[in-house]
Amino acid sequence: MTLSFVEHPSPNFDERSGRRPVDMVVLHYTGMPTAAAALQRLCDPEAKVSAHYVIDEDGTIYRLVPEDKRAWHAGVAFWRGVRDVNARSIGIELVNPGHEFGYREFPTVQIDALIALLKDMATRYEMMPGNYVAHSDIAPMRKEDPGELFPWHRLHAAGFGRWWAGDFKVSPHAPSMQPGERSGAVLELQVALDRIGYGIEGSGFYDPATEAVVRAFQRHWRQDQVDGISDAETTSLIRHIADQVNMRRISSERAAS
């Protein structure tokens, strides 16, 4: 599809800090009853929030903040060692009422527009597959967007982000864990989640923070059951995605040597 934008400038941005390049995309839903209400808030100086782009349900792409500026979309966040996520990312809001106002599936034309935008951005930035993330991934204690209806598999098929490999199987040896448990298996789970990119402490205790991170992982990769409990399938998937990250790291190190 031909990429075009509707210019809808927001005053809510500042300069990007540091010398690290943009290397992350954070996806959100607007979580408001209408697109008009979301655009108004994202352009309200008093709200102090914004994004680089908003994509309406009909596929219209609004450009709010120039890509070379720091939009205010991530808030307090963490991903793969990065705390100032706004400084390193492009924020994209997808119009959707969200869980509060009637969460619904994202129309095909909306996702088509998102993929076209990501392809356009790929001509300007180098982003690792693991750096296409949800707001809930980078702020699991606070956020749940874009939620369990977002089609991450479609993005992966288009060349963006991670998804299961075709040979994925649930391990017969994968333990099931739940909140309140304290064990070595929980510690191994936390280490795997940390390897993927989540901000989590390796304590061996399945505390509320671990439960929130597991729930965020499920919203991204195990969307039919989002309960914060790491059953055998969730545990297997966490290991599977963590192994993908590790294999890419090893491959990059070999290429550099």
pLDDT in tens, 105-133: 999 999 999 999 999 999 999 999 999 99
Tell me: cis bond preceding 146? Omega within 30 of 0 counts.
Answer: yes
Rounded distance, CA 208 to CA 199, Å?
13
* Secondary structure of residue 190 in the 3-state scheme: helix
Active-site residues, by number, are 93
Rounded distance, CA 178 to CA 227, Å?
10
Rounded distance, CA 96 to CA 249, Å?
35
Paired tokens of 199? 């901000």
Domains and CATH numbers, the chain: 6-157 (3.40.80.10), 184-256 (1.10.101)
* Secondary structure of residue 137 in the 3-state scheme: helix
Q: Tens of pLDDT along 14-36?
A: 999 867 899 999 999 999 999 99
Using pLDDT thresholds of 50, 70 and 90, give the confidence band for residue 2.
low
Q: Tens of pLDDT along 37-58?
A: 999 999 999 999 999 999 999 9
Beta carbons of 242 and 196 less than 8 angstroms apart: yes
Residue 251 pLDDT greater than 60, yes or no: no
Q: Tens of pLDDT along 195-241?
A: 999 999 999 999 999 999 999 999 999 999 999 999 999 999 999 99
* Secondary structure of residue 240 in the 3-state scheme: helix
Burial (CB < 10 A; 0-12, 13-18, 19+), residue 141, is middle
Question: Strand pairing partners for 90?
Answer: 25
Q: DSSP H helical segments within 2-134, as ranges?
A: 35-42, 85-88, 98-101, 108-121
> Which residues make Cβ contacts (< 8 Å) with residue 41, sequence separation at least 6?
32, 47, 49
